[in-house]
Amino acid sequence: MTNGVLVVLPTYNEIQNLERVVAGVRKLGHDVLIVDDASPDGTGDLADRLAGADGAVRVLHRPRKLGLGSAYEDAFRMGLADGAQLMVEMDADGSHLPENLDAIVAAARLSGGLAIGSRYIPGGSVVGWPFYRGLLSWGANVYCRILLGLATHDCTSGYRCYTRELISHIGLDDVVSQGYSFQIEMVWRARRLGYSVVEVPIRFEDRVAGASKVSRGEVRRALWTVLRLSLGRWKR
């Protein structure tokens, strides 16, 4: 590890965006782990070329599209084995700006828990989304806060940093979410364990190339996962 920070970039058909995102992260001096789910557009081959040119970039190839949550779980296990002290989730589509990265990493290091790049606190913003998508995201976060009793404003943000201690204590084998609801469950588990969850304002910019991977089915599964976690909360 270069500086103890590992930035994880899950990919599926991101050949148009990946090189630019990796360059932005590497400019800040952080290691990169690309997790590619057998992208048919050649993203995996591009990732291999980037890794061949830079020893701080590595690639984990998976045989098929297995879900965002499982991609992070596999990457975090590698990070723990390699001695990473801070592990970052970051989208490879360009919507997460590298200029916000160091502030998120610093907040996680200071808090000792989880730092989230938040769109929905003062100073945060979203650029390029149609009204209905912004409303869906905002409503999903209200739903999470009410059902799970969370104070976090942006539980669904995919731009975040965990400390090694938090990842170790959460127990990745106990996480039930494999899709986008992984983000919500990890916030919930961090708070249940008593770890600090802090939010750092970010500017989120909608992707300029490629297509979003969030389907209606994925949204339904996320809503169901939150309900399951909520039922567990009340049973406790």
| CB 162, CB 79: distance < 8 Å | no
Distances (CA, A) of 213 to 112, 160, 174: 31, 19, 25
pLDDT at 216: 66
Domains of the chain in sequence order? 5-235 (3.90.550.10)
Give the distance from CA 158 to its chain's centroid: 3
* pTM: predicted TM-score of the whole model, two decimal places: 0.91
Side-chain half-sphere CA neighbours of 16 within 13 A: 9
Residues 6+ apart with CB under 8 A from 118: 124, 152, 153, 154, 157, 199, 200, 201, 202
Distance CA 184, CA 224 (A): 12
| CB 102, CB 28: distance < 8 Å | yes
* pLDDT tens, per residue, the chain with 236 residues: 779 999 999 999 999 999 999 999 999 999 999 999 999 999 999 999 999 999 999 999 999 999 899 999 999 999 999 999 999 999 999 999 999 999 999 999 999 999 999 999 999 999 999 998 899 889 989 998 999 999 999 999 999 999 999 999 999 998 988 778 899 999 999 999 999 999 999 999 996 665 665 656 666 777 777 777 777 554 44
